[in-house]
Amino acid sequence: MNPQTKLRCQSSKHRWLIDASSTGSFLPSHHFFLATAILSPLLLSWGFAAHRKIVDVAIHHVPEPLHGFLKANREWLVEHALDADLRKHSVIGEAEKHYIDLDEFGEPDTDSIRLPPSHWKDAIAKYGEAKLRDRGIGPWNIRWQFENLIDAFEARDKNRILRSTADLAHYLSDLHVPLHTTKNYDGALTGQSGIHALWETQVPESHMDEFDLVNLPIIQHWNPQCTDSIWRVIQKSHECLALVFSAEEETLNELGEANAFAFCVRGRTRQKMHSAQFVDLYHSKLQGQVEQRMTRSIAACSIYWYSAWVMAGQPPLPVEQTETSRLRAMIEWIIK
């Protein structure tokens, strides 16, 4: 499938909205495209609030002197935590960087998965590039983004450092979301459509204030092999899927279809989503799973950022824009 057409939550949400409107219970048709266009970023990976929170808290955990530099640029980094998702709409090859369908690498008709080769060239030799891109290239992309950040530190280019820092955090966080590791990413294959936004947007938005994001499982920040760990991350994310789906099924059985959904006002739109009652019960059945994946995301961001800086030779951190970045900013301003 063309990666541009495989815009995960966006495409699944289109289906969901169409289904809902076909019952006569949803937005008037002339609002449909407008609502989708406005809301689709909310429905992509972690959601606005969680992505921003992950970056914000990860900065807090980074050791000095990188901490001081990131803290001084906190506002920009938090603001741009979702840029990678916004690019899915306009950049060919972007969409597949946010996920990997691990179950596509499993044995047919079994739950067992077999990780593809961790080196991109070996993976291409085994599966071919088109198949890999169709199944998602999340873990390989992490290494490329990590190398981008090292290059940016070496160049002491403030703009590049900030962009690479925000992007790396985004992709790392996405791969901590269980539903980013399966072809059943929005429950369409199991009759659980809408589960993507439920898990990664509605639960964090409703319960994030209760999460303990301070006590992180960081043993050491400097890890020269940190990019290897992404393969354990996606395995762990994939293992979480059984509970993601079973908890939704149990919640629906207990509350019944009539209590499962409600119309929610989000910004200037009205949207049919899981009800607050459903979100609360689902969250309790997940046994802290969303909080755990969020804290792991925060720890990973902190470790990867710091390790990239160390691997770049611990260069002084730019306070002012370099000549290169100043020139680039001027060119961008002119062609806008």
Q: Are 54 and 294 in contact (CB under 8 A)?
A: yes
**Residue 201 sits in the site that holds Zn ion (CB under 5 A):** no
225, amino acid identity: Q
Stretch that binds Zn ion, among 29-37, 171-179, 246-254, 315-323 (CB under 5 A): 171-179
| 96 touching Zn ion, by CB under 5 A | no
Which positions from 35 through 74 interact with Zn ion, judged by CB under 5 A? 45
Measured torsion, CA atoms of residues 309, 53, 34, 5, in degrees rounded to the nearest 10: 50
Burial (CB < 10 A; 0-12, 13-18, 19+), residue 219, is exposed
Contact flag: residue 174 with Zn ion (CB under 5 A): yes
Cα 87 off chain centre by: 13
Span 71-90, contacts to Zn ion by CB under 5 A: 85
**Segment contacting Zn ion by CB under 5 A, of 30-38, 149-157, 174-182, 208-216:** 174-182
Which residues in 279-308 contact Zn ion (CB under 5 A)? none
CB-wise, 137 or 260, nearer to Zn ion?
A: 137
Burial class (CB in 10 A: 0-12, 13-18, 19+), 205: middle
The H-or-E segment that residue 261 falls in is strand 261-266
Our CB check for Zn ion shows the closer of 52 and 67 to be 52
How far lies 80's CA from each of 76, 168, 176, in Å? 6, 11, 19
Q: Which is nearer to Zn ion, 89 or 143 (CB)?
A: 89
For residues 198 and 50, is the Cβ–Cβ distance under 8 A? Answer: no
Cβ burial, residue 278 (10 Å; 0-12/13-18/19+): buried
Position among 13, 80, 98, 293 found at the interface with Zn ion (CB under 5 A) = 98
User: How far is it, in rounded angstroms, from Cα 297 to Cα 213?
Assistant: 10
Return the range that interacts with Zn ion (CB under 5 A); candidates 95-103, 123-131, 149-157, 310-318.
95-103
The stretch near Zn ion (CB under 5 A) out of 35-43, 169-177, 263-271, 305-313 is 169-177
Is 157 a binding residue for Zn ion by CB under 5 A? The answer is no
Please state, in angstroms and rounded to a whole number, the distance separating the CA atoms of residues 80 and 100.
Answer: 23
Q: Which is nearer to Zn ion, 12 or 251 (CB)?
A: 12
CB of 29 to Zn ion, least distance (A): 29
CB 114 to Zn ion: min, Å? 25
Task: Look at the block and give the residue holding tokens 């050791």.
Answer: 63
Distance CA 44, CA 50 (A): 11
Tell me the residue nearest to Zn ion as measured from the CB.
45
Please give the size of the binding site for Zn ion, defined by CB under 5 A.
4
| CB 85, min distance to Zn ion, A | 4
Cα–Cα distance, 184 to 181 (Å, whole number): 9
300 versus 311: smaller Cβ distance to Zn ion: 300
CB of 165 to Zn ion, least distance (A): 16
Residue 200 engages Zn ion in binding (rule: CB under 5 A) = no
Does residue 103 bind Zn ion (CB under 5 A)?
A: no
Binding site for Zn ion (CB under 5 A): 45, 85, 98, 174
